[in-house]
Structures are given as structure tokens and as C-alpha cells.
Amino acid sequence: MDKQTVLILFGGKSSEHDVSTVSASSVIKNIPQDKYDIIKMGITKEGAWYRYNGDVELLPEDKWVEDTANLVPAFLSPDPTVGGIIEITDSGVKTTKIDAVFPVLHGKNGEDGTVQGLLQLAEIPYVGCDMTSSAACMDKAITNALADQAGIAQAKWLSYTEHEYRSNPQKALDECVEKLGYPIFVKPAKAGSSVGISKASNVHELADAFETAFANDSKVVLEETVTGAEVECAVLGNADPIAATPGEIAPCNEFYDYEAKYIAGTSGLFIPARISEDMLKKVQQQAIKAYKALGCSGLSRVDFFVNGEEILLNEINTIPGFTSISMYPKLFAHSGIEYSDLIDRLIKLAIEKKESEQ
């Protein structure tokens, strides 16, 4: 059987750029080489696109950007008659057909529907959720509103645009305290990897938390503090998704912030989560319910807080981390789907989704 050509897209103009390069390196090393020819395409922190022909080991820490001999200016064409990428070489313009794209991008301009919209215009199959569900899951305020509509339990929450807050800061602060009570988590509405999140225990910390969040986004979401285990459930599939055995994070910091996720390396990880068998099944059911309610396809990691018999939705990650220590591949490995097979399934799901739309 002829190999299919898969484009691995990484980097991005996002606060999660560095995480993306590590995830992409891991995906490239583990993709079944007997089935797929790989094209590596990176987006720099400044937003420049390149085909990268060098060593995958140089992806982390952005060392690939310094490997200029192996950088070729290139971009994904939105023109479906091209069906792939356009490279700008010294001898002219070159086009390469692509069978599927794996956007190993996290956060803004990668996980928020922007790249997905480009790929839909190009009519190229791609791994993961479509443009609409990617955008809805990226914006925590929209996710929360849709979850409320679907009857999915979650923490009490509020949302403010920067304009709304600046118009009357004191009113916003008073509303937050009245509805949510201290301590309050303050988050940028459209940032991931816990970037820009603060926990406020008084009005001064709350005001500072607004400023920290607004430094990362023009809209913030505030949530009441809930107690319970931080349980994550990996979901895979299109029309009939499956859920892996849920796992549990025991943060090394006060909460599971960026440092706890990617720097400290001392957070505890338990698979399965330390909850009853009955609750494990209920988490899986709620994960699939949320996945369908938000219109997800391909993959997502659905995160919850579990306290006794209470299961509260935290968030949905449509392009979860794929590093060697990431929860999504670890959960499916525990459920019997190893990393390489998981990548293979995701690419096949992408192609199947595209074929079903034709």
C-alpha cells in the first residue's frame, strides 16, 4: 500500500508555542513510518511559516528556527485545487499534495478554529475538531454557556470583556464576590496550559487577577473554587466516540498551573483516577456527553472536578498535549491503545470525517 503524506504543523504565534514544539517532536518520532511520509511545517513565534527539513530533535526549545539551511518559506494553500502546501524556493514555487494534516498546535491561532477554518477551505483532512467546535471549546465562556444549556454540571461562573470591566471595575468586583465568593479563579477566556490564571482570596488579589488575565486575552472567565479530585478523560472518535480510563492529577503547586504542568515535573499522576469504579464510568459518560454537546470530533481531553458523587466539568481541550508526559496518550495507553496506534487512528479518523462530508 502506498504511503500517505501527513503534514505535522507545529509552533504557532501563541503563548503555548514551546509546548507545541515538544508535542510535535513526540508525534513525529512515534508516527508509524511504514504508513506515512512526514512533512514538518513550523510557525515561528512571529508568525512566519516554514517547511522544516532538518532534525526533529531540534524542535524543542525552538532550535529548529536556527537551522536556517533546512528552512524553506512555505504555507498551506486555502485553494482546494492545490490540495497542500506551497513552497517558495530559489528556483521558483513548488506545490506538494497533502493527504492529511496533524495540527499539533496549542492555544491561540491553532486550537481556536483559525487553522481548522483554513484547512476546511483547502478541503484537506485534518486531525481533531472542526472550526466551530474548536472555537467554542477554546472560549471558556462559550464552553460554559453551552454546557449549561446541555445540563452538564460545572462550577458557578461569570465572564467579562475588558470593555465591560473597565466601564465599572467596582461593580464587576462586587458582582464576582457576591455570586462566587472567595477564593475565585480568574482565567483568560481563550488561553490554555493554565497561562494567565490566578487565584484571588481578597479584593486586591481579584483586581490584580483581572489585569493578569487581560494581559492574555480581552475576555476573562471567573469561577468559584470547587474542591475535589482533578480528573481528566481522553475521548477519541467521530460519531461514536470512546472514552479512555480517566486519570487524576495531583498538582505539585496550589493548583495545576503552567509550572506544575511543564516545568516542575513533580505533579502526581494516577491512572485510573482514585475514585470508585462507578464514578470512573460516570466520568466517562459525562466526558462523552460534553464531547458531543460541544460538537467535538477526532479527539479531546475533557477535564472534571470530582468530589464524592459530584462531577463538575472544568474544560475541554481539543488539541491536548502530546508530549512524553502528556495525559491524553497516557490515558489511552492504559486503555490498550499505544501511542503509535493512537496517532494512526487519529489520522484515519480525520480522513473518514472528510470523506463523510463529501
The CATH architecture that domain 136-152+227-357 belongs to is 2-Layer Sandwich (3.30)
Reported confidence tier of residue 193, pLDDT bands at 50, 70, 90: low
Check: CB of residue 294 under 8 Å from CB of residue 136. Answer: yes
Every domain of the chain and the residues it spans? 4-126, 136-152+227-357, 157-224
Check: CB of residue 37 under 8 Å from CB of residue 4. Answer: yes
Q: What is the pLDDT of residues 219-245, one digit of tens each?
A: 999 999 998 999 999 999 999 999 999
Res 26 pLDDT > 60: yes
State the chain's mean pLDDT as an integer: 93
pLDDT of residue 195: 75
Q: Top-level CATH class of 4-126?
A: alpha beta
DSSP-assigned beta bridge partners for residue 268: 250
Reading the block at residue 277, the C-alpha cell is 469504579
pLDDT of residue 108: 84
DSSP code, position 153: -
Q: What is the pLDDT of residues 255-303, one digit of tens each?
A: 544 454 444 455 689 999 999 999 999 999 999 999 999 999 999 999 9
- Across the range 338-352, mean pLDDT stands at 97
The CATH architecture that domain 157-224 belongs to is 2-Layer Sandwich (3.30)
